[in-house]
Amino acid sequence: MSAFEERLVGGLRVRIDRTLCVGFGDCVTEAPEAFVLDDSGTAVFVTPDQVDRERLLRACDVCPVDAITLQFGTKTGGNSSPGACEQVP
């Protein structure tokens, strides 16, 4: 599995940096339809397109190590990300 997982969900580019994730599970608590912890205790996507935008934003905000990042727009453009979430390069 790659060090990064990325999905485009409702106009947001959502990225999990598996090298940063330490398995606190706050993202799973906030949006269990979108994220689970795999066998190694690292966050992975489930069905993020089934979670409303606000819960995805909160899941990003609650990650204590910024392993989940969001960017508005597509891979080729977009605006800065909300709140404490870092912009995906």
The answer to the question of residue 63 being in a domain is yes
Cβ atoms of residues 68 and 26 within 8 Å: no
pLDDT digits (tens, 9 = 90+) for 10-64: 889 999 999 999 999 999 999 999 999 999 999 999 999 999 999 999 999 999 9
The answer to the question of residue 40 being in a domain is yes
Cβ atoms of residues 69 and 88 within 8 Å: yes
List % helix, strand, coil for the chain (3-state, nearest 5): 20, 25, 55
The answer to the question of residue 24 being in a domain is yes
The answer to the question of residue 80 being in a domain is no
The answer to the question of residue 34 being in a domain is yes
Q: How many domains does the chain have?
A: 1
Domain residue limits at 13: 4-72
The answer to the question of residue 15 being in a domain is yes
CA-based end-to-end distance of the chain? 20
pTM: 0.79
Rounded Cα distance, 45 and 77, in Å = 22
CATH number of residue 24's parent domain: 3.30.70.20
The answer to the question of residue 50 being in a domain is yes
Task: Find how far residue 65's CA is from the centre of its chain.
Answer: 12
